[in-house]
Amino acid sequence: MTTHVLILCTHNSARSVLSEGMLNHWAKKLGRDVQAHSAGSAPSGRINPFALEALSNAGVDISGYRSKSWDEFSQDGAPPLSIVITVCDSAAAEQCPVFFGGSGGQPVKVHWGYPDPSNAEGGDEGKRRAFELTRQAIGFRLLQLLALPLATMSKAELQQALVGISKA
């Protein structure tokens, strides 16, 4: 059974997109039945080109990526979510909509905050560097998530493990 992970940020243009790309990339490489999705509370309608560049440079297939609203994941026909991760400070304080986890009920929620690489100084090169560092930091946490025995963990164990990853 596929574990669906939703990664949220405000604009769904940078950190959440980096997370979706890296989780799907690593899950495929490692043969894990995990599917990442990303969305925003106030989607910008465009993905930051530096996010796409960082993912592409890491070998991630970026075709089909788009900035989307979290509303898509609280409607009929949405994938049954197991985990919801917020990755930007503003999204952590926002009231999330109700997400349904299929037969398992509500998904486990955790906040893994990262500074916005879009605000990096140093012109385009500074932004490229910030996006790459953010991609690497996110990728490191997501590899830890993929190392968990997701199929056999209780919600409490999963919550504890995800909080532990955030502190590592």
Q: Mean pLDDT by 10-residue block, N- to C-terminus, for the chain (168 residues)?
A: 92 94 97 96 92 97 93 87 84 51 75 90 96 96 97 95 92
Assess whether 24 carries a catalytic annotation.
no
Q: What is the number of structural domains in the chain?
A: 1
* Domain CATH number, residue 82: 3.40.50.2300
Assess whether 33 carries a catalytic annotation.
no
Domain that holds residue 94: 3-162
pLDDT, residue 1, reads 87
Q: Exactly one of 62, 96, 133, 153 is catalytic; which is it? A: 96
pLDDT, residue 92, reads 47
- Identify whether 168 is part of a domain: no
- Identify whether 167 is part of a domain: no
Assess whether 146 carries a catalytic annotation.
no
Query: Residues 165, 145: contact at Cβ < 8 Å?
Result: yes
Q: Exactly one of 7, 17, 88, 138 is catalytic; which is it? A: 88
- Identify whether 155 is part of a domain: yes
Strands 81-86 and 3-9: parallel
- Identify whether 52 is part of a domain: yes
Q: Exactly one of 7, 9, 14, 18 is catalytic; which is it? A: 9
Helices 49-57 and 15-30 cross at an angle (nearest 10°) of 20
pLDDT, residue 98, reads 52
